[in-house]
Chain A
Amino acid sequence: NAGVTQTPKFQVLKTGQSMTLQCAQDMNHNSMYWYRQDPGMGLRLIYYSASEGTTDKGEVPNGYNVSRLNKREFSLRLESAAPSQTSVYFCASSLTTVRMNTEAFFGQGTRLTVV
């Protein structure tokens, strides 16, 4: 049981380049999330998907797009990377929405550097 798998683990991009961060879960969860973690800032929500086919903006969505391809996969795309997007990105999933008090499971993170 792999849980939440993120790829790649590390990535260096040049300013202006684009890339997609992949996330897949094998727990049949409905909700999926993308966060970024910066020093001293905790985790900030970028985008959220309550169920297949739906997505919603989080606290810091500017510069990102997402796609909930199917129930398993939730990808995060940077169309034109900027140095301010240098961060560690985490994907998470939960069975239902958090008000239903379900635990969220996290991937191991993608460390992205934009130069």
Chain B
Amino acid sequence: SQELEQSPQSLIVQEGKNLTINCTSSKTLYGLYWYKQKYGEGLIFLMMLQKGGEEKSHEKITAKLDEKKQQSSLHITASQPSHAGIYLCGAASSTDKLIFGTGTRLQVFP
């Protein structure tokens, strides 16, 4: 079965610093989703990447998809306390089910 591995598992950064979260798939990627979850709440959709080499940005968050390497990265520029939460990558499995990585917990301190 397909697995998504995220790194790092946990990240603590000072406000204003840049950071990157990675998501690596054990099998071919058919699109890659990034979600954010605030503690104790549901998931909020951030971005969807469909093609190799695709890059999307929303405010200070940029995501890229490297299809050949079967991985995606999420980069946050000049982090703020509002960026804190759990970031999850999701992908379509070979049987067309939406599966998720283990998540990256981000804390941003002033």
Q: CB within 8 Å of B: which residues of A?
A: 33, 35, 40-45, 48, 50, 56, 58-59, 90, 92, 94, 97-99, 101, 103-109
Contact = CB atoms under 8 A, between A and B. Distances in A.
Given A99-B30, A99-B31, A104-B90, A43 B42 contact: no
A108 B41 contact: yes
A58 B31 CA distance: 19
B76 interface: no
Interface of B: 1, 4, 6, 9, 30-31, 33, 35, 41-43, 45, 48, 50, 88, 90-92, 95-103
A98 B42 contact: no
B88 A42 contact: yes
29 contacts: A35-B100, A40-B9, A40-B103, A41-B102, A42-B88, A42-B101, A43-B43, A43-B90, A43-B100, A43-B103, A45-B97, A45-B98, A45-B99, A45-B100, A48-B97, A48-B98, A56-B95, A56-B97, A59-B1, A59-B99, A90-B43, A92-B43, A97-B92, A98-B31, A98-B98, A99-B92, A101-B48, A105-B45, A106-B35
A103 B48 CA distance: 8
A108 B42 contact: yes
Contacts of A105: 45
**Top 6 A-B pairs ranked by shortest CB distance?**
A98-B92, A42-B102, A43-B100, A106-B43, A106-B42, A42-B103
Contact of A107 (B42, B88, B97): B42
Contacts of B91: 98
Nearest to A102: B48
A48 B100 CA distance: 14
B36 to A, nearest CB: 11
Contacts of B95: 56
Contacts of B99: 45, 59
A43 B4 CA distance: 11
Nearest to A90: B42
A94 B35 CA distance: 14
Contacts of B48: 101, 103
A109 B90 contact: no
